[in-house]
Amino acid sequence: MSSLPVYGWRLAPPGYATFRQLRAQGLRPGGQDVAAVLERPRRRRGPLVAYLYRVDRAKPVRSMTPARWAALAKANAAQQVCPNCRQDAGYRIPTSLGMCVTCAFPEEQCAA
């Protein structure tokens, strides 16, 4: 079992990045293993842990294919249909309500 280098918060050397930092640069880990661990201490619980990847081994993010765009559009369209009135709300239905705002609050109709 190999041990990974552990760095303190904000003390990681250049050339390492978290997944989110890679994504912000238009990169992805590309199948590489975690290269190091970043730990942020907390008072009453264990430390927060972030995994670091090497930037020089990262690969560019894959572009969206037409099939993926179509699947994403279909999924977004399905989340806009109210299950109560079966109408397209024109926005994503809030999961907290489970239905469009018009069906959830029928007494508060807009007077405009």
pTM (two decimals): 0.66
pLDDT digits (tens, 9 = 90+) for 39-95: 999 999 999 999 999 999 999 999 999 999 999 999 999 999 999 999 999 999 988
In 3-state terms the chain splits into helix, strand, coil percentages (rounded to 5) of: 25, 20, 55
Decide if 38 contacts 52 (C-beta within 8 A).
yes
Contacts of 18 (CB under 8 A, 6+ apart): 38, 50, 51, 52, 53
